[in-house]
Structure 1
Amino acid sequence: MGLFCQANSQATPVEAHPLNAIHSLVTEHIKQKIDQQIIEPQISLRKLNPRLKLQSCLHPLELQDRNLNTLTGRMTISVRCSEPVWRVFVPAVVDGKKTVVLSTKGMLKGAVIKREDIKVHALPYKKIPRGSIVNLQTAIGMRTKKPIPANSVLKLKDLQPPYWVFKNQEVTITTYTGSIRVETKGIALKNGVERQQIPVKNMSSKKTIKGIVVAPNQILVP
């Protein structure tokens, strides 16, 4: 039975509010909340005690869900009537599957993840590890921190940022003289991620300088 407060459980000549209508309202709210985010959802309500007598509400019922971002597991929905005043709480449990990103093959430590290396797969939410990646674009271009077997769920803690600059590849070097911007071509002497300082060779002066990776193939020399 759902917990309730300010509810009149005594007999009254006033028409009783149908409990099934409350249950249907809560179920519909949960369906809308998890729409297209949970696969094969199963919604179970702990229904109100049939002996509970609530006066018929004169206005549309008000729902309150304090955990709108909670899509699976246990949740409790508050249903309130403004006239006459009463409120009930309907506990619910939502089960189902969520999509995660899996590896399609084994990957070595330091491998750069490509589209063909990963796929989307639905798993029961209880079996999904914390920190799992759910979007393909999040994983593409990232590098593995450790070897990853085939058909493994990819987790953020096992990946590191993608390289924006690759060793021995051409880059654009940007410097400023006052308000004047000067661009020259160079060669990266080391792989680099965003905001990392790496050595580059200026192709005009042939000198080796240090710059900061600010964009793909873009180096800024402060």
Structure 2
Amino acid sequence: MIRFALILTSLLGLGITCQAADKQDLSLLTRTAEQFARRQLADSDAKITARKLDPNLSLPACDSLEAYLPPNGRLSGRSTVGVRCARDGWSINVTLDIQLFSQAVVASRAIRAGEVIQATDVQLQRVEIGQLPSPPLGSIDQALGKTPVVGIGQGIPLRADMLRAPAVIQPGQSVRILVNGDGFQVSGEGKALGQAALGQSVSIRTNNGQVVTGVVTGVGQVTVTP
């Protein structure tokens, strides 16, 4: 009788082991999601951490796991990567915490709005960029000579939308007008009706009273394309 009980216990134990073996390893699901994200972000400086799944989750074991990005998903900040079993058809979402880093221009000190940025005011630094509303500047030259539209605190990454190029044309200033056409160029004079920086549009009143709009292509120079 005792021997029968031992045999029965052994068989039950084997049954439990087999049943456990048929249960999906949850850590494999998180690793699959992490590996997918790393492949997608192979060219980025990224830190990826998967959140643990509910230990009470029970799924059939699968040897054909596939990771995918759900519709409208993105790999930045708190992200979701789906993992599905191609054989059995079940799927689950894995939450990842993703930090994206890049060398960016940051303020070396607090910079006031309207202050012209000098080389000593900024520096390159590795910063997290995933949660910024727009990409930061990647070169110090992109910031030099420009002025912030709002105050920038020390250590804050600089973005293009935070800066304004210095005006090279002022209202009422005499400017040279270049009209470029197909195989010809005509020049004239006029008065600026507004303030503008290089690359910006500005309206000019010509000497005969006509108002034209062109792009600032130099100090005191506007190019008009007919």
Q: TM-score if structure 1 supplies the norm length? A: 0.61
Partner of 1:174: 178
Partner of 1:56: 62
Q: TM-score if structure 2 supplies the norm length? A: 0.60
1:28 aligns with 2:35: yes
Name the CA distance, whole Å, in 2 between partners of 1:21 and 1:52.
13
Q: Aligned partner of 1:56: which letter?
A: C
1:120 aligns with 2:127: no
Name the CA distance, whole Å, in 2 between partners of 1:116 and 1:163.
18
**1:183–1:136 Cα change, 3 Å:** farther
Partner of 1:7: none
**Larger deviation, residues 207-216 vs 45-54:** 207-216
| Larger RCO, structures 1/2 (Cα 8 Å, 6+ apart) | 1
**1:61–1:114 Cα change, 3 Å:** farther
Partner of 1:91: 95
Structure 2: runs of 5 or more not aligned? 1-17
Would you say the 8 A contact 1:14–1:56 is kept in 2? no
RMSD of aligned C-alpha atoms? 4.4
1:197 aligns with 2:199: no
Q: Aligned partner of 2:123: which letter?
A: K
Q: Aligned partner of 2:74: which letter?
A: N
**1:99–1:71 Cα change, 3 Å:** farther
1:136 aligns with 2:135: no
Would you say the 8 A contact 2:129–2:136 is kept in 1? no
Name the CA distance, whole Å, in 1 between partners of 2:58 and 2:196.
66
**1:117–1:133 Cα change, 3 Å:** farther
Name the CA distance, whole Å, in 2 between partners of 1:82 and 1:114.
57
Higher Cα radius of gyration: 2
Which structure shows the higher helix fraction? 2
Partner of 1:71: 76
Would you say the 8 A contact 2:180–2:223 is kept in 1? no
How far does residue 43 in structure 1 lie from its aligned partner after superposition?
A: 0.8
Would you say the 8 A contact 1:103–1:152 is kept in 2? yes
How far does residue 216 in structure 1 lie from its aligned partner after superposition?
A: 2.0
Percent identity, aligned pairs only, is 15
Name the CA distance, whole Å, in 2 between partners of 1:183 and 1:105.
47
Corresponding residue pairs, total:
199
Partner of 2:186: 183
1:157-178 per-position Cα deviation (integer Å, ceiling 9, x unaligned): 5433x3574469997523379x
